[in-house]
Structure 1
Amino acid sequence: MRNRRLHAVPTSPEAPRPGRTAREPLWRHLLGRRLRRERTERGQTLTETAERAGISPQYLSEIERGIKEPSSEMIAAVAGALEVTLLDLTVAVARELNGQRATAQRQVPANVTRPSGQGFALAA
C-alpha cells in the first residue's frame, strides 16, 4: 500500500497548494464571484435569491465568497433562482478562468521561453 500525503485545502485563492501556482484561482472562487455578479445584475438581495433557491442566506453568502464548495444540486438551485442555465453559468466561469490564464501567460518572466508546443520551458 502506498503512503499518501494529506494536504490542507487552502481557504484563499493566493494560498498555494502542491501542483498549483499561487495565482491559479479555485473553481469555487470563480463560481462564487459569477453567482454574485448574476444576482446583483438582477437586483436581487442575498435573502431573495436564497429563498428562491431553497437555501439559507448565510450558505449563499459563503458560496459567493468562495468559502463553501457547493454540490451540483446547490449550484443548480441557485442558477434556477437566478434564471440562468447551468451551461451559461459554466461557460461564464470558464471564460473568466481562460482570461485569467491568458493574463498570467502574458506576465511570464523574461528568462522563461514558450516553445511552439504547449507548456513552458525554462531557458538555460
Structure 2
Amino acid sequence: MAEKRPLLRTVVGEVLRRHRQEQRRTLAEVAKEANVSVPYLSEVERGRKEPSSEVLAAVCDSLRLGLPDLLAEVRHELTFAYAPVIRLDAARLELARRETRRQAHRPGDALLLAA
C-alpha cells in the first residue's frame, strides 16, 4: 500500500512551526503580532486548520518570512521529503534470491542489473 500524501495544510503548519521554533519564539508572541488567537495558530501549526491567505500573510510577517519563501519550502517538502522511495537494496536482495534459486547456469549466460 502506498504511503498517504500529506495535506498541504499539514506541511504549511510544519514549516511555520519550524521557523517559529528556530527563532525561539512562543506561540503567544507570534499570534499576538499576527493578530490571531494562540489556539488558532496552534491548530494551524498542527495542520488542523486551513489558514486564509490573510492569516498566512500575517503569520509570515510576524515571522519575518516572505510568503514566496514559505511556499518554496512547502514545495520542497512536498517534492522531496514526502516523495516515494524506491528501496534499491531490497530490489537487489530479491534479485539475488531469485538468482540463487536458478538451477543451472550455462556458460555465456548474461545477467543484466539496472540501478
What is the TM-score normalised by the length of structure 1? 0.66
C-alpha separation between the residues in 2 aligned to 1:32 and 1:107?
29
Q: Does 1:45 align with 2:26?
A: yes
2:12 maps to a residue whose letter is L
RMSD: 1.8
Q: Using a 3 Å threshold, how does the CA distance of structure 1 residues 38 and 48 change in structure 2: closer, same or farther?
A: same
The 4+ residue runs of structure 1 with deviation greater than 2 A are: 105-110
Q: Does 1:68 align with 2:45?
A: no
2:69 maps to a residue whose letter is D
**Corresponding residue to 2:86 among 106, 112, 120:** 106
Structure with the larger RCO, 1 or 2 (CA within 8 Å, 6+ apart): 2
Q: 2:112 maps to what in 1?
A: none
What is the TM-score normalised by the length of structure 2? 0.71
Listed as ranges, the matches of 1:1-124 within 5 Å are 22-102=3-83, 104-107=84-87
Aligned-residue offset at 1:106? 2.3
Equivalent pairs, count? 89
Aligned-residue offset at 1:80? 0.4
C-alpha separation between the residues in 1 aligned to 2:21 and 2:72?
19
Structure showing greater radius of gyration is: 2
Gap regions ≥5 residues in structure 2: 92-115
Aligned-residue offset at 1:107? 4.9
Gap regions ≥5 residues in structure 1: 1-20, 111-124
